[in-house]
């Protein structure tokens, strides 16, 4: 690999790692909202907002890194 390829690989690795970290943070914030740790719009609504944030966080944590890795995969040599 050349020097620009190494720099690009480092940036992509950082992006995938940041995506997983943000997904975990979203999930934790959603669980805090569900449990009533802090209030945004009142308890019945906060549970629905928290559930939506947990789902987005789970998607960001589990699915998005796979999609990014597939998109950035090196081409196969024939």
What pTM value is reported for the model?
A: 0.81
Domain range list for the chain: 22-71
- Tell me: pLDDT of 78 over 70: no
pLDDT tens digits, 3-60: 788 898 899 999 999 999 999 999 999 999 999 888 888 888 999 999 999 999 999 9
CB 49 within 8 A of CB 33: yes
d(CA 6, CA 44): 49
């Amino acid at each position: 690999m050349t020097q620009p390829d190494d720099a690009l690989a480092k940036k992509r690795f950082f992006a995938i790692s940041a995506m997983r970290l943000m997904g975990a943070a979203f999930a934790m914030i959603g669980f805090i909202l569900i449990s009533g740790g802090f209030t945004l719009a009142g308890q019945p609504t906060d549970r629905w907002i928290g559930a939506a944030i947990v789902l987005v966080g789970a998607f960001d944590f589990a699915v998005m890194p796979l999609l990014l890795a597939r998109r950035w995969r090196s081409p196969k040599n024939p």
